[in-house]
Amino acid sequence: MNTHSQTAALLKVDNLRVSFRVNKKENVETVKGISFEIPYNATVALVGESGSGKSVSSLAVMGLLPADTSSISGDSKITFEGKSLLELSISQRRQLCGKDISMIFQEPMTSLNPVFTVGFQIAEVLRLHMGMDAKQARARAIELLDEVGIPDPKNKIDAYPSQMSGGQQQRVMIAMAIACEPKLLIADEPTTALDVTIQKQIIDLINALRIKRNMSVLFITHDLALVGEIASHVIVMRHGEIREAGSVEQIFERPQDTYTQALMHCRPSLDSRPWRLPVIADFMNNQGTLPEQKERQRGLCGDEDIVLEVNNLSKSFYTREGLFGKKEFKAVDDVSFKLARGKTLGVVGESGSGKTTVGLCLLRLHQATSGQAFFDGKDILSMPNKEFLQYKRRIQIIFQNPYASLNPRFTIGQILMEPMHIHRIGNNDIERATMAKQLLDKVGLPVAAFQRYPHEFSGGQRQRIAIARCLTMKPEVLVCDESVSALDVSVQAQVLNLLQDLQEEFSLSYIFISHDLAVVKYIADQVMVMNKGKVVELANADDLYHHPQQAYTKTLLGAIPRGLQHAEKYRQLFI
């Protein structure tokens, strides 16, 4: 039992400065002399946008910074229970950071080894740091999987990461992290790509484990809405510096720094829908105040022009079962909806609900098992490929990951001009280049971007490039598949504002697929809730959020993070 007082410091960071070498002559300082403490038995949230230095700071604590390209200033100090971490040998640091300090990384799919079972990977930690033999390690691994809420742990221990959902993979990462009963758990954006219900489960799990095991948690995130549900202390970072620090009540109710206030205003609110979402620059340039905005009206009246009508869409996948048999999995089951011209249909649901498969079927990236999708009176699912080619221009998709959806070998100009070549848009390359540069300006990027490569841009800028590529085809329907879910709140606001501007200018219709229900409420006219391949509920956005009819919808809404207002209070409204 840990007998330390709540005010004692488990970890102290003093004047931490971290630099990275970008070429032979130039070093860039990414963490600029920050100091903070993590008390015993407490959760401290480290909040900031990408590039703020929060993850670099945690990697410095863990000793995981690349030795060949990074350096920590000589006057920096990191003290854990009185021990100076920067003075330990590599073997001493590895032993300490594997046992007493552990870390959960953001993306479990890249953190878990795909060729080993999850049980082997948990047992490996126990053998290395706890000296257990194979039998003891396996038994303890089953106990850990059960503790983090993995169903049927005796069988799941032999599963590979690819056989588990994203939420289950993250639970496995937590099991590995707590295997040696650490005193400090560092969670680096552990819920960013997870559905709202799974996100709530992971937050509750980390909270419960912290209390049960008397450990401290450093919770790193860019989403302030999560912080109020897990942290007791908050540290706000920007550009490698701490802008503000204090208790969670102080930061939420009496924020002193303009940047902290700006972070809170960028995220869409469930209570209002301003004409444009404020971004960080808006707030900083106006000294912490924002001009009054009129509310944006969303919803359908019933007499809108319908651009796309989907009837009884189904998609099944098959896996081998036994020697000759096969097993059917219905990813999409009898889905029907209508998409109005110039309007947005939000599609929400947990992972595996079928929402992305619906979008891929409409683009014929998956072949629908049955059903119809009428575009201008013609069924685009049954027509020959040659006839569908002309419809490819009119229905486009923006994928979730702007890093994977842009060819790294092409310049931005080549990326934008390639679809014009394929579909014979423009008379020559000069005309196409002119059109591409105009589109770059349309999405808020400089003309100089035309000659640059994707790796030279941030995530938000890459998503703008992906949007510009879609616009080269002059589409009428855009499928936005989790297209803002991985972005910082300020960049997310910029992309949402851009999508709304483009909708107003070109009367675009959006199928907006997302697990972020606050974003969907802001941008959608209608919302379609999916679960296990079926449509659970379909209604105007305001009606669905204020008066949900189905229990599953109420569960989704109850899991939305609301800062200091715990989700349980919201659930009570529907009981």
Q: What's the pLDDT tens digit per position in 110-131?
A: 788 999 999 999 999 899 888 8
Asked if 507 contacts 539 with a C-beta cutoff of 8 angstroms, the reply is no
| 77/226 same-domain check | yes
What radius of gyration, in Å, describes the C-alpha atoms of the chain?
A: 25
In a domain, 422, yes or no: yes
In a domain, 272, yes or no: no
The region of weakest confidence among 214-223, 314-323, 441-450, 501-510 is 314-323
| 57/193 same-domain check | yes
Residue 364: pLDDT above 90? yes
Domain end, chosen from 434, 449, 474, is at 474
Asked if 86 contacts 74 with a C-beta cutoff of 8 angstroms, the reply is no
| 133/149 same-domain check | yes
In a domain, 130, yes or no: yes
In a domain, 339, yes or no: no
| 194/175 same-domain check | no
Read out DSSP for 161-176? GGGS-HHHHHHHHHHH
| 38/88 same-domain check | yes
In a domain, 151, yes or no: yes
Q: So what's the pLDDT on residue 193?
A: 65
| 15/92 same-domain check | yes
Helix (H) or strand (E) holding 427, with range, is: none
Domain end, chosen from 157, 179, 201, is at 179
Task: Specify the higher pLDDT residue, 563 or 402.
Answer: 402
- β-bridge pairing 477-481 and 395-398: parallel
Domain that holds residue 132: 111-179
| 230/83 same-domain check | yes
Q: So what's the pLDDT on residue 574?
A: 32
* pLDDT digits 0-9 by tens, 278-306: 888 887 777 666 777 788 889 888 889 99
pTM of the model: 0.80
| 20/71 same-domain check | yes
Domain end, chosen from 199, 232, 256, is at 256
| 77/189 same-domain check | yes
Reading the block at residue 211, the tokens are 């209390």
In a domain, 481, yes or no: no
Q: So what's the pLDDT on residue 314?
A: 96
| 188/249 same-domain check | yes
**CA dist., res. 230 & res. 45, Å (int):** 8
Distance of CA 407 to the CA centre of its chain: 22
**CA dist., res. 231 & res. 219, Å (int):** 8
| 249/170 same-domain check | no
In a domain, 533, yes or no: no
- Number of structural domains found in the chain: 3
**CA dist., res. 414 & res. 98, Å (int):** 46
In a domain, 503, yes or no: no
In the 8-state DSSP scheme, what is residue 395?
Answer: E
Q: So what's the pLDDT on residue 310?
A: 96
Report the share of the chain in percent with pLDDT over 70.
94
**CA dist., res. 103 & res. 80, Å (int):** 15
| 90/235 same-domain check | yes
Q: So what's the pLDDT on residue 478?
A: 92
CATH of the domain at 40: 3.40.50.300
Reading the block at residue 465, the tokens are 């490039």
